[in-house]
A and B are shown apart, each in its own frame.
Chain A
Amino acid sequence: DIQMTQSPSSVSASVGDRVTITCRASQDVNRWLAWYQQKPGTAPKLLIYAASTLQSGVPSRFSGSGSGTDFTLTISSLQPEDFATYFCQQANSFPPYTFGQGTKVEIK
C-alpha cells in the first residue's frame, strides 16, 4: 500500500493567516491526490481532486499543488469556518485508496 504522510500534524494559526499543509506519498502517485476537510462529528468534505482542481462550491482561498510524491494544500486567508482537520488521499495505486493521518488546524 502507498503510505501518505502529512505534516505538520497540527498547526496553530489566526484568522487571515496563510496556512500550508504538506502531504508526501511513499511512491509516485502522479497527480491523483485529493484533499478533504473534516469538522468534529461530521463527514469529510471533498475540497480538491487531481492535486489542484477545486471541487464545485469550494471557496477559492483553497488551492492545491504538486505531483509525484509531494503535494501541498494552501489556505490563502484563514477564515473562522476553516478550523478543522484536513486529510489527503491518493488515488493512483488501487486497491486500496489510502489517506494521510490528518492535519488539525487550530485557533492560535
Chain B
Amino acid sequence: QVQLQESGPGLVKPSQTLSLTCTVSGASIRSGGYYWNWIRQPAGKELEWVGRIFASGHSDYNPSLKSRVTISIDTSRDQFSLKLSSVTAADTAVYYCARGEDRDYHNVGFDYWGQGTPVTVSS
C-alpha cells in the first residue's frame, strides 16, 4: 500500500520560506509513470495545485506561484520537498502531497495522498 506523509513546520513568519517534505513508502518514488505533486487547500476553500516533480528531477509549477516555488526530489530517500518563498497570510493552508499519473499524455487523477499538514503564516 502506497503511503505519503508530509512533514515540516506548522507556523511560518511572513516573508520567510515555507519548507515541507513528503516521504513516500510502500513504493519507490522512482516508479515509472508517476509524478509527485503538492496541492494546497485554504480553510473552507477549493484545492489549488502547486506543482509536480518527476523522478528525473523535471518539475512543473502553477504559473500563479512559479516565481516563489521550488520542488526538489531525493530518490535515495523516497522523498520530495516543497519550498515556497516570501510567504504571506494568503499562503495559509493545508498542504497535501499526492501521486499523479498520466495516460494518453493526460493526468488521470491523484490516487494517493498524504494526510495533509496545516501551515499558518503569521508573525
The chain A residues found within 8 Å of chain B, CB to CB, are: 1, 30, 32, 34, 36, 42-46, 48-50, 53, 55, 87, 89, 91-92, 94-102
Contacts and interface: CB of A to CB of B under 8 A. Distances in A.
Interface residues of B, number: 24
A29 to B, nearest CB: 9
A63 to B, nearest CB: 15
Interface in B43-73: 45-49, 51, 60-64
Given A91-B108, A91-B109, A43 B116 contact: yes
A46 B110 contact: yes
B69 to A, nearest CB: 11
B46 A96 contact: no
A44 B107 contact: no
B113 A96 contact: no
A91 B46 contact: no
A96 B49 contact: yes
Given A43-B115, A43-B116, A99 B108 contact: no
Contacts of A97: 49, 107
